[in-house]
Structure 1
Amino acid sequence: MITAMILAGGSGSRVGAGRPKQFVEILGKPVLAYTIELYQKNPQVDAIEIVCHADWIHYLETIIENYRLSKVKWITHGGETFQESVINGVNYLKDKLDNNDMVMIHYGAAPFTSQHIISDGIRVCKEHGISVSCTPCFQLLGSNDENRESKTWIDRDKQVQICCPQSFRYGYLLDIYHRAEEKGLLDVIEPHTTSLMYALGDTIYQSYGDQTNIKITTKEDLELFEGYALLRQSRQEEQGG
């Protein structure tokens, strides 16, 4: 069984939209609806879990009904931090999934992801029990030092940008958080599952990613997605005509 765990628990204050970024409407449709539809449409995905900000669960239920998102089987509350939201989502599935089932973690405000990215994540995870969508660094990289100075060149060919989905065999995902808790890492490590893996010495297996696979973080990202959605809408109308 393959389950997408979509994280929609954040406040998204940096976009300045007066509401969490995953609930901002683009062309009259919430960003989160676009993201859920990625997994709704993928034939390999069996179920969807939404980890949602408590204040927005009723609105989420309206989205699910309006857009006929039938694969959404479970909704659970987000936490105070990103890491707590992931842990809530992981723990909520304990009596619902087997250890060999797959969980694909995806950000609610990451609607640019393609079916190619999702399918390759599934392929690599089936082979290794873990996959992360990774994109090469195409821009030049340098250090971010004090006083807006940069003094050190960084070899971009030795770096990757980590995106979503981040896919795991469910039993392995539980083990990551169990070991991280035992070592006291949950409160001191950058709040992402992959960051915990690096701290634990685990290996990340890369699946396909590209430059369009970004997470909406700023107002400018919202504008980018609006253009992307308009382009996609235009192409669909041309094909339909």
Structure 2
Amino acid sequence: MNYAVIFAGGTGSRMNTKTRPKQFLTLHGKEIIIYTLEHFENHPDIDGISVVCIEGWIDYLKKLLDKYQIKKVKWISPGGTTGQESIYNGLNAMRDQISDESIVLVHDGVRPLIDEELISDNIEMVKKKGTAVTVVPAIETIMLVDENNQIVQNVDRQRCRVVRAPQSFRYQDILEAHDKARKAGINNIVDSATMMAAEGYTLYPVEGKPENIKITTPSDYYTFRAIVEAEENSQILGL
């Protein structure tokens, strides 16, 4: 069985919007979170979805799920104080309700430009290797700086990958890692890949498409809009 944990517990301070959180901003009348959820809803191998949402927006989310006929969302949890805690809440909601061997894809609610192939590739990689982390090749020069903010080393770009999402694991493995971190009082690990690497797991990359961006700033939103409109135009015009 395969499940998705979609975390949308952030307030989006970098988006400069005072009206609503970034995951509930709309494009062509549809909320970003719905664009994201529809990919998992429509994927034949996804059996259920756990959504983490800002607590004050849960009722609104439920109305959207009904409006857009999103049927696979089985758990809705309030967001935490950090991204790590939000993901834990989404995982913990499924505790004792799904098999330990189930595959869980952890994904950002504001990363709506994924596709069926990427979800399938994540599932297959976990089946084969036990972990799957979506990446894209680094396309710009990368350098390291020291504590004095001086450039000290040029990094071989050919060996660099930018980590994105989904990040996918066996349910028992990722839940145990979170339980261990919480017991140790750790609550600020940046993402699931970092947590699992710290636990000694070997991470296996799944290459995604460059447009699989996280919508964090206004410019990200405009990029998202341009890509969606380009896809719509290609369908209409047959390009």
Alpha carbons of 1:154 and 1:28: their partners in 2 closer, same or farther (altered >3 Å)?
same
Alpha carbons of 1:24 and 1:149: their partners in 2 closer, same or farther (altered >3 Å)?
farther
Give the Cα separation in 1 of the matches to 2:169 and 2:123: 9
- What's the secondary structure of 2:211's corresponding residue? coil
Give the Cα separation in 1 of the matches to 2:199 and 2:107: 22
Letter in 2 for 1:133: T
Query: Within 5 Å, which residues of 2 pair with 1:8-23?
Result: 8-18=8-18, 19-23=20-24
Alpha-carbon distance, 1:204 to partner: 0.6
Give the Cα separation in 2 of the matches to 1:139 and 1:149: 19
- Encode CA deviations 1:56-77: one digit per residue, 9 max, x unaligned: 1111112111111111122111
User: Does the 8 Å CA contact 1:24/1:30 hold for their aligned counterparts?
Assistant: yes
- What's the secondary structure of 1:69's corresponding residue? coil
User: Does the 8 Å CA contact 2:50/2:91 hold for their aligned counterparts?
Assistant: no
- What's the secondary structure of 1:143's corresponding residue? strand
Gaps of 5+ in 2: none
User: Does the 8 Å CA contact 2:88/2:175 hold for their aligned counterparts?
Assistant: no
Count of residues in correspondence between the two structures: 238
**Residue 4 (str. 1) matches residue 7 (str. 2):** no
**Residue 75 (str. 1) matches residue 76 (str. 2):** yes
Matching residue of 2:109: 108
Letter in 1 for 2:81: E
Alpha-carbon distance, 1:108 to partner: 0.3
Letter in 1 for 2:173: Y
Matching residue of 2:199: 200
- What's the secondary structure of 2:49's corresponding residue? strand
**Residue 233 (str. 1) matches residue 232 (str. 2):** yes
> Larger deviation: 166-175 or 3-12?
166-175
Query: Within 5 Å, which residues of 2 pair with 1:109-188?
Result: 109-144=110-145, 150-182=151-183, 184=184, 186-187=186-187
- What's the secondary structure of 2:168's corresponding residue? strand
- Encode CA deviations 1:101-140: one digit per residue, 9 max, x unaligned: 1111110000011222111001101112211111111211
Give the Cα separation in 2 of the matches to 1:87 and 1:73: 16
Alpha carbons of 1:227 and 1:70: their partners in 2 closer, same or farther (altered >3 Å)?
same
Alpha-carbon distance, 1:185 to partner: 6.5
User: Could you say what the CA RMSD is over the residues aligned between the two structures, in angstroms?
Assistant: 2.0
User: Does the 8 Å CA contact 1:101/1:170 hold for their aligned counterparts?
Assistant: yes
Letter in 2 for 1:23: F
Matching residue of 1:52: 53
Gaps of 5+ in 1: none
- Encode CA deviations 1:167-203: one digit per residue, 9 max, x unaligned: 1111111222233345x3624x533221112222221
